Amino acid sequence: MSHAGPSGLGSEPKSICGKDWKLPSLDWGDRDLSVAISQIQKRRKVDLVIFGHMHNRLKRNLGLREMFKIDSKGTIYFNTAVVPRYKTDEDGKLLINFSWIEFEKKELKHVSHRWYSESGHICEEDRFF
């Protein structure tokens, strides 16, 4: 888990760690984190890397960012930076965003960003896996 994601996951504005706020677009990931993950992957599998920093809504009206990726070694990368974290539904009720991941017997089963009501009910869900 880290604040910023690793480098090496794409250099387009919509890439999971891509620079979207001004041109040129490029990979804005953390090189040190990328090196650390590579070193660990030499010894064992890295199941999951969770991070934020790069917001889901792109600047310059470019749409939405890719928030989920699995690399060739099976490592799952999940960007949790949904902004804003709070919004209201069509009835004016508060919704709060949380990221949700489920594993079963070390196998990935579910990845999503969920919007919960204040009473804890899931009202919306952006499912990635």
Split into its structural domains, the chain has a count of 2
Q: Is 109 in contact with 103 (CB distance < 8 Å)?
A: yes
Largest CA distance in the chain: 52
Percent of the chain with pLDDT over 90: 96
| Closest CA relative to residue 29, chosen from 19, 40, 14 | 19
Query: Within this chain, do residues 77 and 88 fall inside the same structural domain, yes or no?
Result: no
The domain in which residue 118 lies consists of 84-129
Q: What's the rounded mean pLDDT across residues 55-78? A: 95
* Strand partners for 125: 114
User: For the chain, how big is the Rg over CA atoms in Å?
Assistant: 16
| Closest CA relative to residue 74, chosen from 26, 113, 37, 114 | 37
Query: Within this chain, do residues 91 and 121 fall inside the same structural domain, yes or no?
Result: yes
Tens of pLDDT, residues 21-55: 999 999 999 999 999 999 999 999 999 999 999 99
Name the band, by pLDDT with cuts 50, 70 and 90, for residue 87.
very high
Query: Within this chain, do residues 64 and 54 fall inside the same structural domain, yes or no?
Result: yes
70 pLDDT above the threshold of 90: yes
Query: Within this chain, do residues 76 and 90 fall inside the same structural domain, yes or no?
Result: no
Number of H helices and E strands in the chain, helices first, is 1, 7
Question: What average pLDDT does the structure give for the chain?
Answer: 96
Query: Within this chain, do residues 68 and 93 fall inside the same structural domain, yes or no?
Result: no
60 pLDDT above the threshold of 90: no
| Closest CA relative to residue 113, chosen from 80, 89, 70, 83 | 80
What is the C-alpha to C-alpha distance for residues 128 and 19, in angstroms, rounded to an integer? Answer: 21
Q: What's the rounded mean pLDDT across residues 92-106? A: 96
Q: What is the pLDDT of residue 64?
A: 96
| pTM score | 0.93
Q: What is the pLDDT of residue 61?
A: 86
